[in-house]
Amino acid sequence: MLRAGSPHGRTGGDGGQEPGARRALGGWSRCGGDWMCRADQADPQLERCAAGMRLALLAPLVLTGLTVIDSGARGAYWVLLAAFAVWSVLQAWHLRWRAATRLNQAVAVLLTDLAVLALLAELSGGPYSPVCFVYFLVPLTTVLWQLPRVSVVVGMLCIGVYAVLALVNLSPPRRSPDLGMDLLIQGVYLMWLSGVATTLCVLLSRRSRRVAQLLSASQTLLEDALAAEERERAELADQLHDGAVQSLLAACQDLEEVAEEGTSPALERATACVRQTVAELRETVLDLHPQVLAAVGLAEALRQAGGRAAQRGGLDVRYAMQPRGHVPGEPLIYAAVREALANVVRHAEATRVRIELRGEDRHTVACVVDDGVGFAPALLTARIAEGHIGLASHRVRIESAGGTFRVESTPGCGTRVEIRLPSEGVRLRPRAPGATAAAAR
């Protein structure tokens, strides 16, 4: 019966709002359970709710059909109700497989519903039919649209349809004493209800626009923070590679030259230690600025991160990677997986680790599963209070970008970390290949 639109409208690139009934930051908005939908599309979650409401309406309509006395009207009523039931089922089935429909199509469906309900009301008793209760509910349900103009139009349509039914029943031979006053009172109530629905719609649409602005500001702040962190990591990687690594390589060369004159166990140990330190620093440089993330995508970057974790912790790392190129929010997912692997190496006492990457329901999902000692959920909160905020900081970043970050663990049964980010609408992108060459050296 009802189809709801996206709650936001559109703003221009300079931050000023463009005229029109629908305003959404940048022409896009967060819509129900779906991450993003276009400003000219109906909200898919509210559409599905409306489809369920339409199907539920069939129950009182069937009961109303049992009260129809006129045999001719009863037959027409049941035929029309059967067609409406088929229409409702088809709409529900359509919305199950489509993410969203255009807003003008949603309005057309609503007008069709109102027309069918008007005919059912006339066949089952006119303005006194139980079907007429729908006209008092439709204006309220348009609040979901958060479009004041739509609420006004729908309210006027409901009042108009009710007025037509009233005029038909006021004409002879249907007219009865006091019928005119009763219909007038109900019409006034309907107008009052439509006004209330429009007022609520105005208030909610203002609040929704404010929420959209806050979400956009939060997204911008997150992007700025991540960009600043990435710059700092890249600079630190450059400094380590061009400074400490080069100095150690020079020291190693000097040690090798000294070893040519005469070897000793201490000299060999010092040379081996320097080489090991160089290898560790190069690994740190790669962790700080993973060039492979920008060059070949998230899947290969996770494989390399898993390989380094296997070397450090003596782990048997398995992979379940769907072939994917670049995806939105790659830096967030990579950093969170890297932190999870670091925790496995340091604390889990695991022997096997599984790294997963897949697409699922318009989301990118990454998981790190180990067979380690696990921990009680309360321990995670306690470690955060002690200052161990590695996973907690990544949870905040993932959730700020519209994703979810879940840690599931049981003592003795290992740990599962799941990172889920929307695969549409996230503006966070990896740096372009070649931005910094230090990590590739």
Structure-model confidence comparison of residues 134 and 321, the more confident one: 321
Which of 21-30, 72-81, 165-174, 389-398 is predicted with the least confidence, judged by mean pLDDT? 21-30
Distance CA(156)–CA(420), nearest Å, equals: 45
Residue 49: pLDDT above 90?
no
pLDDT digits (tens, 9 = 90+) for 231-265: 777 778 777 877 887 888 888 887 777 777 767 77
pLDDT-derived band at 172 (thresholds 50, 70, 90) equals low
Distance CA(227)–CA(221), nearest Å, equals: 10
Residue 415: what pLDDT? 92
Structure-model confidence comparison of residues 391 and 309, the more confident one: 309
Q: Is residue 228 within a helix (H) or strand (E), and if so which, with residue range? A: helix 179-239
% of the chain exceeding 90 in pLDDT:
10
Q: Mean of the pLDDT values across residues 415-426?
A: 83
Structure-model confidence comparison of residues 297 and 314, the more confident one: 314
- Parallel, antiparallel or unpaired: strands 316-321 and 352-360: parallel
Hey, what are 340's tokens? 């999870």
Query: Are 194 and 139 contacting, i.e. CB atoms less than 8 angstroms apart?
Result: yes
Q: Mean of the pLDDT values across residues 288-307?
A: 79
Mean pLDDT of the chain: 75
Residue 102: pLDDT above 70?
no
Residue 312: what pLDDT? 84
Hey, what are 81's tokens? 């109700």
Structure-model confidence comparison of residues 48 and 15, the more confident one: 48
| DSSP letters for 11-59 | B-TTSPBPSSS-B-GGGEEEETTEEEEETTBB-HHHHHHHHHHHHHHHH
Structure-model confidence comparison of residues 302 and 324, the more confident one: 302
- Parallel, antiparallel or unpaired: strands 363-370 and 352-360: antiparallel
Residue 180: what pLDDT? 65
